[in-house]
Chain A
Amino acid sequence: AQSVTQLDSHVSVSEGTPVLLRCNYSSSYSPSLFWYVQHPNKGLQLLLKYTSAATLVKGINGFEAEFKKSETSFHLTKPSAHMSDAAEYFCVVSDQTGTASKLTFGTGTRLQVTL
């Protein structure tokens, strides 16, 4: 069985300061891990994906995440927050068994960016 824990339900940062959204996972297999973002009243958009290549993954809009197997973590970071980053972020682990990749979602972290 696989699971994802997002350690913060809500994070608030000032514009121009770093962003850290924390995620721990549990998986019986070599996992694929994703971060998705959901802006208000919009569908989910893929930010970045880890699939056992480089452990530091770069995504869109300046975000990146580092896969740390020893810590079972996949934290999302960005050096400098922008107002447009305000959204809900989901950490996701993929089950690679079967015919369709089933995704298990975390409960989400709402990022607030203030002036």
Chain B
Amino acid sequence: DVKVTQSSRYLVKRTGEKVFLECVQDMDHENMFWYRQDPGLGLRLIYFSYDVKMKEKGDIPEGYSVSREKKERFSLILESASTNQTSMYLCASSLFHLWGDSYEQYFGPGTRLTVT
């Protein structure tokens, strides 16, 4: 059974703290993604990675960075957390994209981050 796990379900941090969100997948997928989910806005892509040490910006990368040192692990970093980064963060993974096909993404349970 496919599995994407996230290090925390709930996290509370203070403004200005550096925050690490960890994601691990056990499916040997090449692609990994970080989204944030906010009510009425759906999911928005922050960053994605298609290989170890490779990363690309998504639609809302400002205030975030990522790290992928191993194929199975993808970390999201908030360099200096702010209150407007309070949100649900979802990690996903998928197989490497082949032209003309589109593989579904498998999602973790999410981390609800509150920045006070």
Contacts and interface: CB of A to CB of B under 8 A. Distances in A.
Interface stretch (B64-72, B74-82, B102-110): B102-110
A106 B102 contact: no
B45 A103 contact: yes
Contact of B42 (A32, A94, A106): A106
Contacts of B40: 9, 107-108
A9 B105 CA distance: 23
Interface string A50-86: 0100000000000000000000000000000000000
Interface in B17-70: 31, 33, 40-45, 48, 50, 56, 58
Interface residues of B, number: 30
A107 B42 CA distance: 4
A49 B109 contact: no
Interface in B76-116: 90, 92, 94, 96-97, 99-110
A43 B99 CA distance: 27
B109 A42 contact: yes
A90 interface: yes
Nearest to B48: A100
Nearest to A48: B104
Interface string A27-44: 000001010100001111
Given A107-B41, A107-B42, A99 B105 contact: no
Q: Which of B31, B58, B104, B107 has its CB near the most chain A CB atoms (within 10 A)?
A: B104
Contacts of A51: 101-102
Contact of B4 (A36, A43, A96): A43
Contacts of B45: 102-103
B31 A100 contact: yes
Enumerate the 3 nearest inter-chain pairs by beta-carbon distance, A residue then B residue, closest first: A32-B102, A105-B42, A43-B107
16 contacts: A32-B102, A43-B108, A43-B109, A44-B92, A51-B102, A94-B102, A99-B96, A100-B33, A100-B97, A101-B102, A101-B103, A103-B33, A105-B43, A107-B40, A107-B42, A108-B42
